[in-house]
Chain A
């Protein structure tokens, strides 16, 4: 729900409560005021009648006596300390032949030593008759307020929230990699100013952290690769000197370990760079072409291992991926499929299917000794004895995560199947269901 809508609804709710209470107050206030005015009028009338009695004379037909009752009373029935009181209630109005609201005011007087009780009454509008009027007027007020709140809510929030919206836009376009600190628009609203200050500080910190992490990665890379390069060079030179056979073996073992070290290091550096999102796809890359290139680069290896390659590659499939990453992804997958290939029912197969939805690479192989999902973890190997360092699939998964591709790895009837879905909403395991080349039937018993 939008902020403005929320505010408007809350305001409306508060208004409703206030108007209800206000309506009640107005209703009772009017009711009390009317009674009050009437009571004062009748007290004045009673005073006039008492004055007339005091002067003597016949006032029986006088208009003042129309609704007046004058009763002499004994002294002991005169209430103490009360000059007059009034009562309200429904009473029969003979003039209108209806039960109406009747106000009776009774006053006590002592005139020339005798005590009198003078009572006058009148019919006033019933409070129930006032109620619809009050409700009606408040209905109109409410409607007017509602319209005003909705309109002004929209306009004012547009004006007041404008700096906030500008800040939001700036933050959305914020890129960790950008060199300059973000420049948020000035605002006079103190909350937004605080928010902007906080955001500026936070993004600056994030940028600095990112930069220092990046620098650390690059420095680590630099500082480690140089000694490795030196050792490698020295070994290269040492190999050419006059050495005995057992020394040659030692050198070869060192070369192997060094090779491993350098590969692990460069792979880890690469993974860090991937996590830092340093490779962003600038334009879609034609993965069909890259797939064919990768396959032809490995064609000789496949031939050497006498693997049968079956492909079903659609042309002109473009995916949003950095070209180097696409290359890395494909060559890692293909080289894995070749390396871990083992014959099933005397067949060594590699199967590649690429279409708009995704990529499926399958190869015949031995059953993995760990669950297939764990193979995506770093340094996990399906076969502990293998010579690989076990980071290839971690890189593959990282690339997929980065590009929002879903990846799935399963082992089924002698086949290692890696499926990658290019479409965010399509689960990779779904890809296996509508393959144009049915996988199982290719494995003849």
Chain B
């Protein structure tokens, strides 16, 4: 997947670049609107990460250009302003999703995948890994052909793990993914633990391999290389 990161903060751009790079994505970065326009003139991208506040203008102004000439690209707005207006205008102008700083990189990745699935695969979207298959339309999770009896949160969690395979997912990142930003609640970690425990139990119960392991002190990891 080719990704264009339009972000004026080099450190943040590099974080995203490094993280997505490890997924095998080809990432290019631009710090300004002008640079982004230039790049967009030459290349096609699967996904464009667009920061709103850029030194030479508002990122939203770029949306028109993107929508006119890059219909296939997914646009994900990155904004530090959790301003409702930006969100609504951004989505109205054709952005596909909106993420607010400070985000977890795994969350960003999950959003990129979700937008990509919605747009590029069309129709039934199945996320598969070995014996696990998730249907993101019907919210059905299967191990081989056995239907897993997952709750919506567990489904969400499993999808999050599958998208971020072999990554350490911190409890904070998982909590933020499952419950959003405004849960003024760090005790949610107990619930993260509960959810992960239940999910692992259900997968094993259906004959799936227990890919999810605890990473000491930090969180959890979906280990795709796990062999029995």
B168 and A239 form a contact (CB under 8 A):
yes
Contact B218 A221 (CB under 8 A): no
1/0 contact string of B177-202 vs chain A (CB within 8 Å): 00001111111000100110000000
* Cβ contacts under 8 Å, B11 to chain A: 230, 233-234
- Report the separation of the CA atoms of residues A245 and B218 in the bound assembly, to the nearest whole angstrom: 9
Interface check B106, CB cutoff 8 A: yes
A180 at the A/B interface (Cβ < 8 Å)? no
Whether A239 and B218, one on each chain, are in contact in the complex, defined by CB atoms closer than 8 angstroms, is yes
Instruction: Report B-chain residues with C-beta under 8 Å of the C-beta of A239.
Output: 168, 170, 215, 218-219
| CB of A26, distance to nearest CB on chain B (Å) | 75
Taking CB atoms and an 8 Å cut-off, the chain A residues in 267-304 that contact chain B are: 267, 269-270, 278-279, 300-301, 304
> B173 within 8 Å of A by Cβ?
yes
Contact B183 A331 (CB under 8 A): yes
B181 lies within 8 A of A388 (CB): no
Whether A256 is near chain B, meaning CB under 8 Å from some CB there, is: yes
Known: A233-B16, A249-B217, A300-B153. A392 touches B105 (CB 8 A): no
Contacts A236-B104, A237-B19, A240-B168 given; does A328 touch B83 at CB 8 Å: no
B19 touches A259 (CB 8 A): no
Q: A262 to B172, alpha carbons, bound, how many Å?
A: 11
A223 to B53, CA, bound (A): 11
A332 touches B184 (CB 8 A): yes
Asked if residues B105 and A237 are in contact (CB atoms below 8 Å), the reply is: yes
Whose C-beta in chain A lies nearest to the C-beta of B19? A237
Q: Is A229 an interface residue (CB 8 A)?
A: yes
Interface string of B151-189 (1 = CB under 8 A from A): 111000000000000011011110000000111111100
Q: Which residues of A contact B168 (CB under 8 A)?
A: 239-240
Prevailing SS type, chain A contact patch:
helix
Give the distance to chain A from B161, nearest Cβ to Cβ, in Å: 15
Complex: chain B residue closest to A393, CB-CB = B184
The answer to whether the Cβ of A102 comes within 8 Å of any Cβ in the partner chain is no
Contacts of B12 in A (CB 8 A): 226, 229-230, 233
Contact of B186 with A256 in the complex, beta carbons under 8 Å: yes
Residues of B within 8 A of A267 (CB): 182, 184
Interface size class of A (residues with CB under 8 A): 35 or more
Contact A391 B103 (CB under 8 A): no
Chain A residues, CB < 8 A from B53: 222
CA distance A339 to B185 in the complex (A): 8
In the complex, what's the smallest C-beta–C-beta distance from B222 to chain A, in angstroms?
13
* Chain A CB within 8 A of B102 CB: yes
B15 within 8 A of A: yes
Please give me the residue from chain B that is nearest to A328 by CB atom. B182
Contacts of B82 in A (CB 8 A): 221, 266, 269-270
> B173 contacts which chain A residues (CB < 8 A)?
236
Quick check: is B9 within 8 A (CB to CB) of the other chain? yes
Does A248 have its Cβ within 8 Å of any Cβ on chain B? yes
Q: By the criterion CB–CB under 8 Å, are B102 and A228 in contact?
A: yes
Q: Judging by beta carbons under 8 Å apart, are A388 and B184 in contact?
A: yes
Are B172 and A259 in contact, with the CB atoms below 8 A?
yes
List B residues at the A interface (Cβ < 8 Å). Answer: 9, 11-12, 15-16, 18-19, 22, 53, 80-84, 100-106, 151-153, 167-168, 170-173, 181-187, 191, 194-195, 215-219
Taking A233-B105, A239-B168, A239-B218 as given, write out 19 further A-B residue pairs in contact, using a Cβ cutoff of 8 Å, ordered by the A residue number.
A221-B81, A230-B102, A233-B15, A236-B170, A237-B15, A237-B19, A239-B170, A240-B168, A248-B217, A252-B171, A256-B186, A258-B172, A262-B102, A279-B84, A301-B191, A304-B191, A335-B184, A388-B185, A391-B184
Listed by A's residue number, 13 A-B pairs whose Cβ atoms lie within 8 Å are: A222-B80, A228-B102, A229-B103, A233-B102, A236-B173, A251-B217, A252-B218, A252-B219, A255-B171, A256-B172, A328-B182, A332-B182, A388-B185
